[in-house]
Amino acid sequence: MSLLILFGLGLLLLAWLVGEPRLVERRRRRLRERPFPSAWRRILARRVPYFRTLPADLQLQLKQHIQVFLAEKPFVGCRGLVVTDEMRVTIAAQACLLILNRRSDYFPKLRQILVYPGAFVVDRVQLDGAGVMQEQRQALSGESWSQGQVILSWEDVLDGAAVIDDGRNVVIHEFAHQLDQEAGHANGAPLLGRRERYAHWSQVLRAEFDALAQRALAQQPSLISDYGATDPAEFFAVVSEVFFEQPQRLAAEHPALYRELAGFYRVDPASW
């Protein structure tokens, strides 16, 4: 009898594993088919000017992604902040830019978005110049944790959304980290699909990372922020900001890097 029970439980588990993805996709399809709320459309017009630059088909796709994202991802206000639809839609619109034209599971490891009114303070243990571990306090505008949280400063979210061509966008930055973390620990090599793509990706991004590190060391100006020279994970997040916000300059000054990012994100913002 116990073997029969175990066999039956195994069949039930198998049925769930096979059927669950279909149920999820069916629910998401229904969400995407719903009319986009007019109040949300007004938020996009007021808070996300980048939306107007998108081709019509990508505008529609982005609105559909927003509907799924907001149905699945909980938002938590921190330090007394009350989360509003304006916050949720503004953040979701920028996050979902990263999954346009891509087969996406909507940031599958992300369990919640924590929103602070402004910069938030974290404690970090770092090695100083003398080789001694020191605890330091840092004020941050955003973070992405592999445990399933993205933390954002609402003030910085608004600043990043308002100026669409300065190459600085905290939501794009942190959600690029989420894509990177889908493969495990963030290392600048997100899931690329085909195995053969990794060699060329690594070659191009490593060369660009090393060149940025040299420019930063020499204090030379660069389109790409020196913060990208911190490590490969930060480099990927930083160049993702530039890819979406300053695509023409990136394509002109770093064509191989632009092509790699365009292949990964499956969009060509330089043509918008």
Tens of pLDDT, residues 237-260: 999 999 999 999 999 999 999 999
Instruction: Provide the pLDDT confidence category of residue 122 given band limits of 50, 70 and 90.
Output: confident
Closest CA to 239 of 253, 142, 181, 183: 253
Range of lowest pLDDT (5-19, 163-177, 209-223, 238-252): 5-19
Q: Which residue, 160, 176, 206, sits at the end of a domain?
A: 160
In a domain, residue 59? The reply is yes
Number of domains in the chain: 2
Considering the domain architecture, whether residues 145 and 226 belong to the same structural domain is answered as no
User: Residues 192, 100: one domain?
Assistant: no
Whether 227 shows a pLDDT value over 60: the answer reads yes
Q: Let me know if residue 172 belongs to a domain.
A: no
For residue 84, give both structure tokens: 């509003």
Confidence check: pLDDT of 2 > 80: no
Of 160, 179, 197, the residue that ends a domain is 160
Let me know if residue 126 belongs to a domain: yes
Q: Which residues of 145-157 are buried (b: 16+ CB within 10 A; e: fewer)?
A: beeebbbbbbebb
**Is residue 121 in a domain?**
yes
Domain that holds residue 103: 18-160
156 and 46 in one domain?
Answer: yes
Inside any domain, residue 154: yes
CATH code: domain of residue 84:
1.10.472.150
Judgement on whether residues 139 and 30 belong to the same structural domain of the protein: yes
228 and 122, same structural domain?
no
Does 108 reside within a domain? Answer: yes
Average pLDDT over residues 53-68: 98
CATH no. for residue 245?
Answer: 3.40.390.10
Same domain as 25, residue 154: yes
Q: What is the pLDDT of residue 131?
A: 61
Neighbours of 179 (CB within 10 A): 23
Q: Is residue 115 within 8 Å of residue 74, measured between CB atoms?
A: no
Q: Could you give the CA distance from residue 232 to residue 96 in angstroms, rounded to a whole number?
A: 23
Per-residue pLDDT band for 10 (boundaries 50, 70, 90) equals: very low
- Are 69 and 130 in the same domain? yes
pLDDT band per the 50, 70, 90 thresholds, residue 132: low
User: What is the amino acid identity at position 125?
Assistant: V
Chain segment 171-205, per-residue pLDDT in tens: 999 999 999 999 888 999 999 988 889 999 999 99
Same domain, 52 and 148: yes
Structure tokens at 78: 């921190």
Q: Do residue 147 and residue 266 come from a single domain?
A: no
Does some domain include residue 175? no
Report pLDDT for 15: 39
pTM to 2 decimal places: 0.88
Q: Are 98 and 231 in a shared domain?
A: no
141 and 200, same structural domain? no
- Is there a single domain that holds both residue 91 and residue 197? no
* Phi and psi torsions of 138, nearest 5°: -130, 140
In the predicted structure, residue 11 carries a pLDDT above the cut 70: no
Q: Is 7 a domain residue? A: no
Cα–Cα nearest to 244, from 191, 166, 150: 166
